[in-house]
C-alpha cells in the first residue's frame, strides 16, 4: 500500500470516528454515567467488534450476509432487541432513583459485562458490517494476492485510532461527570438519558 493511500485512509477513519454516531454517543453517555474507566472498557468492546467485522469482510462472509435479506433482518432484530433490553435496565435504575457517587464509580459495573456489551452492540449492528464492507475495499487492490491481509491491517488501524479517540472522549466525559455529581438527582437523570440513547439507537437500527 502506498503511503499516500494509507494517509487518506487514516484521515478518513479519524473523521468518521469523530462524526456523531451511535457508538460515540453511547460511549459519551456511559462515561458520564459511570466514569472514565467504564467508558474505556466499553470502548475496548466496541473496537473488538470492529475487528470482528473486519474479519468477516476479509474472509468474504460479510458479502454473503449482505446478499441475504433474511440474515440482515435477523441481525437487525437481535441488535434492536439487545439495545432495548439495555435501555430497559437503565430505565429501571432511573426509576429506582439509584444514586451515583465518586466512591462507587468503579463498583457499579462489571468490567467483563461492560466489555461484552460493547462487543455485542457492534457485532449485532448490520450497519457497521455494511460500512466496513463498503469502506475498507476502497483502499485495497482487490485483485492483488495480499488483499485479504491488507484489509485486516486496515481494520486493525481503524480499531486502534478509534480506541484512542474513544478513550479521550471517555476521559473528558469522566472529568465532566465529577462536576455533574455535585448536582442533585444527576444520577437518575443520567440513567434516563442512557435509556433514551439506547432506545433511540434501537429504533434507528430497525427503521433505517
158-189: string of b/e by CB count within 10 Å (b at 16+)? bbebbbebbbebbeebbeebeeebeeeebbbe
Between helix 147-180 and helix 3-18 the angle, nearest 10°, is 30
pLDDT the model gives residue 103:
44
What CA–CA distance (Å, rounded) separates 195 from 182? 22
Question: Considering the domain boundaries, does residue 30 fall inside one?
Answer: no
CB crowding 36-64: b at 16 or more within 10 Å, else e:
bbbbbbbbbbbbbbbbbbbbbbbeeebee
Whether 7 maps to a domain, the answer reads no
Is 167 contained in some domain? yes
Q: What are the pLDDT digits (tens) for 106-124?
A: 445 588 999 999 999 999 9
- For 82, the grid coordinates are 439487545
* pLDDT tens digits, 13-60: 999 999 888 899 999 999 998 899 999 999 999 999 999 999 999 998
The total of structural domains in the chain comes to 1
pLDDT at residue 110, as a whole number: 83
Higher pLDDT, 144 or 173: 173
- Per-residue pLDDT tens over the stretch 64-84: 888 999 999 999 999 999 999
In this prediction, residue 201 carries a pLDDT of: 92
Q: Are 71 and 65 in contact (CB under 8 A)?
A: yes
* Predicted local confidence at residue 98, as pLDDT: 54
pLDDT at 187 over 80: no
Q: What is the pLDDT of residues 122-167, one digit of tens each?
A: 999 999 999 999 999 999 887 787 889 999 999 999 999 999 999 9
Q: Is residue 20 part of a domain?
A: no
13: in domain: no
Rounded to two decimals, the pTM is: 0.86
Range of the domain at 155: 35-207
> How far apart are alpha carbons 139 and 26 in whole angstroms?
29
pLDDT for residue 123? 94
- On whether residue 147 sits in a domain, the answer given is yes
Q: What is the DSSP letter of 9?
A: H
Q: Is 148 inside any structural domain?
A: yes
The span from the first CA to the last CA of the chain, in angstroms, equals 34
Confidence grade of residue 190 (pLDDT, cut at 50, 70, 90) = confident
Domain assignment present for 77? yes
Amino acid at each position: 500500500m502506498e503511503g499516500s493511500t494509507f494517509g487518506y485512509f487514516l484521515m478518513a477513519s479519524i473523521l468518521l470516528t469523530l462524526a456523531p454516531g451511535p457508538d460515540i454517543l453511547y460511549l459519551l453517555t456511559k462515561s458520564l454515567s459511570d466514569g472514565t474507566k467504564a467508558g474505556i472498557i466499553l470502548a475496548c468492546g466496541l473496537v473488538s467488534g470492529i475487528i470482528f467485522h473486519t474479519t468477516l469482510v476479509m474472509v468474504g462472509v460479510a458479502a454473503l450476509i449482505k446478499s441475504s435479506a433474511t440474515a440482515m433482518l435477523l441481525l437487525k432484530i437481535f441488535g434492536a432487541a439487545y439495545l432495548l433490553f439495555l435501555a430497559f435496565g437503565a430505565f429501571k435504575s432511573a426509576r429506582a432513583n439509584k444514586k451515583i457517587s465518586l466512591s462507587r464509580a468503579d463498583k457499579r459495573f462489571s468490567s467483563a459485562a461492560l466489555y461484552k456489551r460493547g462487543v455485542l452492540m457492534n457485532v449485532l449492528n448490520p450497519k457497521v458490517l455494511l460500512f466496513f464492507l463498503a469502506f475498507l475495499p476502497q483502499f485495497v487492490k482487490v485483485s492483488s494476492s495480499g488483499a485479504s491481509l491488507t484489509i485486516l491491517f486496515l481494520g486493525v488501524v481503524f480499531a486502534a485510532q478509534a480506541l484512542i479517540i474513544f478513550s479521550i472522549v471517555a476521559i473528558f466525559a469522566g472529568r465532566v461527570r465529577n462536576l455533574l455529581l455535585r448536582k442533585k438527582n444527576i444520577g437518575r437523570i443520567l440513567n434516563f438519558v442512557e435509556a433514551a440513547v439506547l432506545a433511540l439507537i434501537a429504533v434507528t437500527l430497525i427503521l433505517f
